[in-house]
Amino acid sequence: AGIGAQWGGRWGVPFAELLQHASSVSNGSELRLGYKYPWRSGRLWIRPYASLGVRSSELNDYYYGVRDVEASAARPAYQAHAGVFPELGMLAAYRLTGRWRLLAGWSAMRLPGTVARSPIVEHRTVHSITLGTMYDLSPEVDAWPRHWPLIARLFYGVKGLDFYQHN
């Protein structure tokens, strides 16, 4: 959960988001600052972006730490601290019809040292690819609206040992 703001024009869109872990388990938070540059031509919309996320030690330790009860000979106990996560990416949408879109995205995030040293992390750079379709359910379809929509995001995950203990 969180709050964000963005402001832009022809030169692009700087943005800021303050996020809090949705469950009260970690009490972690993240401040994300970034810049995106939306571009469109005909049916194609592309938005490259760059951001820096500053994550609290509580959030990093929840996802990348290893508690004593989770530790083993192959996975020693580890406590992650606060860190900065730079990310570069690109999102794209292609309008198939008035309501259907093809979606694609790519991003690369560099993990800070405090996370990269965790025994459960294999690679310091994390690549992500997104592919999908979207159907617009709004009553009045504007293929490329000129106003900025309200965007809400909700993420859910489980920590490794918690998942295995409950399943």
Q: What is the pTM of this model?
A: 0.74
* 3-state SS, residue 10: coil
Average pLDDT over residues 130-141: 80
- Which pLDDT score is estimated for 158? 42
- Which pLDDT score is estimated for 149? 53
How many CB atoms neighbour CB 17 within 10 A?
18
pLDDT digits (tens, 9 = 90+) for 17-68: 999 888 778 889 999 999 999 999 999 999 999 999 999 999 999 999 999 9
Residue of 55, 42, 53, 61 whose CA lies nearest to 89: 53
Residue of 44, 141, 49 whose CA lies nearest to 94: 44
pLDDT digits (tens, 9 = 90+) for 75-93: 999 999 999 999 999 999 9
Greatest mean pLDDT among 54-58, 130-134, 147-151 = 54-58
